Copies of this chain bind each other. A is one copy, B any other.
């Protein structure tokens, strides 16, 4: 990018017509200098975003100094993820347009981040619920997915089963055990966050496995139930759904660690 100067020495870029002294770039040189493709510059030309001021008699595009300056601005705005049409409006319009275009882009980016955060939650939950369970059958998969998609937290069947388990002898002790283990894991994760540990670190990955084991135990090994638990966390928020065990910060970190772990 910083080497974007006219290639006068080689003579390649200078149109040796009437205006010997005017600097101009051929499309290939400009593409190489900016890292764009020739096709992209063709495209910019076609849509009127960057129409080169000169052509050779043979019809070859020649980009002048002012064209290159405009291209600079285009690339800067493109780096912000702005649509080319908005870039054209901004460059041809006034500052007012520019401000609103940037704001529109910002709110769009913000929405994208939010929706993808939810997607990530659902994806990690699904992997959690199925792929590490013993022999995940198609039916279990479907149930897990449906649990994720459903609007309410738990199905009547799940509630009935939960009630039965609730009445089993020793249940309160097991429940207290889950809380204790969860709190421990969260505390260790928080320590890693404060220490700046990478989520891919083996110690963190081990913590994710311990976390999964606790949840799986709570769900009695049923993927659909595990999905429901994660769906509940997503909808109610980590603090409410886990009654204070999990914080938003740790939950985000945990998911990043999951994502890394599954990626390998």
Bitwise, A65-96 to B at CB < 8 A (1) or not (0) is 00000001101110111000000000000010
Interface size, A (range): 35 or more
Copies of this protein in the assembly total 2
Please determine whether A256 and B110 come into contact, CB atoms closer than 8 angstroms.
Answer: yes
**B72 in contact with A146 (CB, 8 Å):** yes
Interface-central residue, A80, A127, A256, by most chain B CB under 10 Å: A80
The smallest C-beta distance from A186 to any residue of chain B, in angstroms, reads 15
Q: Are A119 and B80 in contact (CB under 8 A)?
A: yes
A73→B142 CA distance, assembly (Å): 7
Closest 5 CB pairs of A and B: A76-B145, A106-B123, A110-B259, A81-B119, A109-B119
List 19 other contacts, CB 8 Å, given A72-B146, A249-B249: A2-B150, A75-B149, A76-B145, A76-B146, A79-B122, A79-B145, A79-B148, A79-B149, A80-B122, A80-B123, A98-B141, A99-B127, A99-B131, A106-B262, A107-B259, A109-B119, A110-B256, A112-B116, A113-B116
